[in-house]
């Protein structure tokens, strides 16, 4: 049985969302301020993106840039942002909370997962800040999140491929491991073969400078990624 692969692209505008889908993206992660790692997009951006594309759109839920140890006030803000994402027709949310010691904050993350229900939750790259990725994997599973976006604790998914492979194996069918971090057309096939993951995330920031590339350039780079995955599905690569 041939494997199916999924391509998730992070975007910060409705135009970029449309370009990514034209290029072959299967799912979008919608953020504001990707340069800072992504924060919660405004309601108008969520609505605009939802109107432009038909593929699933997952909204980032992150009240500010910086660390992932959020205050009670920030936690309340995240709850409100999740409700807004639901009202705007988002298909999932992307979030993560750490304790001051950088371990996964299981209880508060679980509370947000429950708040997001029935939308699936991706635990984002806060995961890579944890001191023990094996333990963090088990902790995130306990929160009820559906997937983990991670580079294997390294600066890029390519560098973290060996760790990602171990996470994929350890996760089994309990949670999806979503490799991300400088994934681009030059390394996607290698990351796939080394990790045996089935979903992949890219913002193309390592290929195209944020905010400087045209929508045509962005669409073209997304298409390169999509074509690599489709060729691998057909057994042509």
**Which pLDDT band, with edges at 50, 70 and 90, does 209 fall under?**
low
CA nearest 29: which of 111, 90, 76, 86? 90
If one counts the domains in the chain, the total is 1
pLDDT of residue 90: 98
User: CATH number, domain at 77?
Assistant: 3.20.20.380
pLDDT for 213 beyond 80? no
Range of the domain at 183: 6-233
Instruction: Kindly state whether residue 1 falls inside one of the protein's structural domains.
Output: no
CA nearest 141: which of 125, 168, 123? 123
pTM: 0.95
Cα pseudo-dihedral 15, 17, 20, 24, rounded to 10: -130
Instruction: Kindly state whether residue 32 falls inside one of the protein's structural domains.
Output: yes
pLDDT for 42 beyond 90? yes
Tell me the pLDDT tens digit for each residue of 92-107. Answer: 999 999 999 999 999 9
pLDDT of residue 1: 54
Cα pseudo-dihedral 85, 173, 135, 155, rounded to 10: -70
């Amino acid at each position: 049985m041939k494997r199916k692969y999924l391509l998730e692209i992070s975007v910060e505008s409705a135009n970029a969302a449309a370009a990514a889908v034209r290029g072959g993206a299967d799912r979008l992660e919608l953020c504001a301020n990707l340069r800072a790692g992504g924060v919660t997009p405004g309601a108008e951006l969520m609505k605009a993106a939802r109107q432009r594309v038909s593929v699933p759109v997952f909204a980032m839920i992150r009240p500010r840039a910086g660390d992932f140890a959020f205050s009670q006030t920030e936690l309340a803000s995240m709850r409100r942002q999740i409700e807004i994402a639901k009202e705007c027709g988002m298909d999932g949310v992307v979030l993560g909370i750490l304790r001051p010691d950088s371990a996964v904050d299981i209880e508060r993350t679980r509370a947000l997962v429950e708040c997001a229900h029935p939308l699936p939750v991706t635990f984002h790259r806060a995961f890579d800040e944890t001191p023990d990725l094996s333990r963090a994997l088990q902790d995130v599973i306990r929160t009820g999140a559906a997937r983990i976006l991670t580079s294997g604790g390294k600066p890029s998914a390519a560098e973290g491929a060996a760790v990602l492979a171990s996470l994929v194996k350890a996760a089994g069918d309990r949670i999806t491991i979503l490799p991300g971090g400088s994934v681009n057309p030059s390394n996607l096939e290698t990351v796939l073969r080394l990790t045996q993951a089935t979903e992949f995330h890219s913002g193309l920031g390592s290929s195209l400078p944020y905010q400087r590339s045209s929508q045509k350039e962005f669409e073209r780079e997304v298409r390169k990624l999509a074509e690599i995955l489709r060729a691998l599905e057909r057994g042509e690569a």
